[in-house]
Structure 1
Amino acid sequence: MAVTLAEVAGHAGVSPATVSRVLNGGYPVAGGTRTRVERAIEELGYVANGPARALAAATSDLVGVLVHDVADSFFGILAGSLQSALGPENGHHGGGRLAVVCNTQGEPATELAYLTLLEGQRAGGVVLTGGAAEDPAHTAALTARVTRIAGTGAPVVLCGRPPLAVPAGLPVATVMFDDRGGSFRLAEHLLSLGHRRIAYVAGPPGLSTTRERLAGHRAALRERDPFLPEACAPLTVHASFDRAAGYDATRELLRRGASFTAVVAANDTVATGVAAALREEGIRIPQDVSVAGFDDLPFCVDTAPALTTVRVPLREAGVLAAQLVTRRRMLPPGGITTLPTELMVRGSTAPPPTASPS
């Protein structure tokens, strides 16, 4: 039997009217009281009546777009493409949607806080971009908030992250990138050149994107030689998704005296830091060490040498997310679309000094 609003009120120790105010947003509710109500909603698994809430909510033309870091080119391109596709020139009958970009800095608590604010503003849709924090408590809280927002009839799109276990029938779509496949093909490329000592500067632990890309990399190593993943494990370092992290991680690998002939970076920005640290030590790219990234950001063709990487279709994903959040495109079967990634081989990778391609 479905949990009722009155049961939520009893669990939180407040009146049903207070629960209603928290659900509908836009009403003054003390912070501590709001927290108790939200906790009760999540603990009891309360799901509001979608059609009834949609009629009452009168959702706006505002679409919330949550990004980890708008200054990061990955998110800038994705959000820019999405915002353009939501603009007046792409709306029905000359209309459009107002995209509000929310910068979470990758903090799970900030992500939840922005969703609460967007719910209070009766946003007409929400797009969450970037890797998801793989923490059970956060996933449960995120699922509850997405369920509440979608329960009003406002579409929610998860872009570049795994799907959530929301009730069937809600307008929730997932747009995923084939990070695992792209990472697999990149590692295959390096292995085919003859590399066997491959360092990996991975993203932050506990993030879905980090897990998927590292899994694809290790799968390719394992397919070539069952012992390779274990042999290369000491050459794997976790770091954040910025240039300084790539630089520091590479300096640490060099300080350890680690022997490697190639470095795979979690993304292109990290790869620039890797390259800087190598050059500082007089290590040539790719004659001494090959370097590769991920995402295929615009600057990759302008680095010296141009960066081998994996293209993620960011602009296409932004357009697709805009179409889904405005219902201009129907949800696919199962609600999930996986966009392919593509290996882009350029000048930063070559056979290692003492090996020939195999």
Structure 2
Amino acid sequence: MQRPDLIITPKIILPRLVVRERIPPPAKVGMTLEPQTMHWQIIGPDGRVVREADQACHNLVLDNAKELVATLGLFEQSEWAVIGTGSTAPNPSQTGLVNERARTNQTGGPTDSTTEVSTGVWEITRYRQFTAAQVGGQNLTEWGFSGSGTAGNNLMSRELFRDGSNNPVTLTLDSDQQLRLIYKVRVTVGPTTPQTASMNITGIGNRTGQFVLQQRIITGAHGYNANPVQGLSSFARAANPPKWIYGFQRRTLGYGDAFWDINNMVDFAGAYEAYTANSQNRKMSPAVRSVTEVNGTIVGIGMNENHAITGPYPRMYFQFDVGQEITKDNLHELTIAGFEISWT
């Protein structure tokens, strides 16, 4: 029985409330590599097509290809056509043909083409032709594409030859016949419209702004890398020292902007961080500017894929929100986290 003078007060535990500032994700470019279709043709000694079929690519990209982006790039991985005599069904874990017989980067006459089929979606068509010396008298069952001319486990894609109904078939070639493969592969890049993002600045923290990919760097007589996939491939495989670009004047951001005002930008050579295996992500090293460099109010940060190019023309650009700009003086260094590129 409870004593009348004893009052028991239950202990109430309140939930812990943690308040964190919502910060947009870091500025990052994304890329997706995707084979589309392959059309094969058996060509007679007179140059006429004697047998052919369209086939869809059953598996998208081999897992192997996603790692090879860091060394071979994107479109570059379809430079070489590869054929063989294996019959194992394709799966993404494969890295090469079961029984490779030949590979070629010769077109046989037609010219490869690159087209932007929709905003940010770039398609390349490869024409690769094997000579009668390579394939004549063969019974071919498998094919693939690679960024290397060396036989081995370096394929982007692997498939079996199929008929128009996508049933596996064996291509039996006469001794004087040739084989042509017509292959389409796409790369989707973005963001092609300005996206809310953030950039980390040492000693200051994260600043917010808008980030966008640029379609072109230079137009007119220069025409440098009007196809952004070329530039992003260079970033991904660390082919050239990237160029940091500092903007001092606000601009209207857009994917299709042709060029930038050289009088309101300053540029510097940068570097890349080492690729981390299986990350499918390449980071640029932080940019460090001394007390004598880029002094003034910086409203935007950009980068392109080659420091050798004349003029500050960004491939990607981050523009700070109003009120988030950086004002740098000659008493402080400036260290900014590098951009990132990821792919699938």
TM-score normalised over the length of structure 2:
0.27
Larger radius of gyration: 2
Higher helix share: 1
Choose between structure 1 and 2: higher strand proportion.
Answer: 2
TM score, norm. by length of structure 1? 0.27
Larger RCO (alpha carbons 8 Å, 6+ apart) = 2
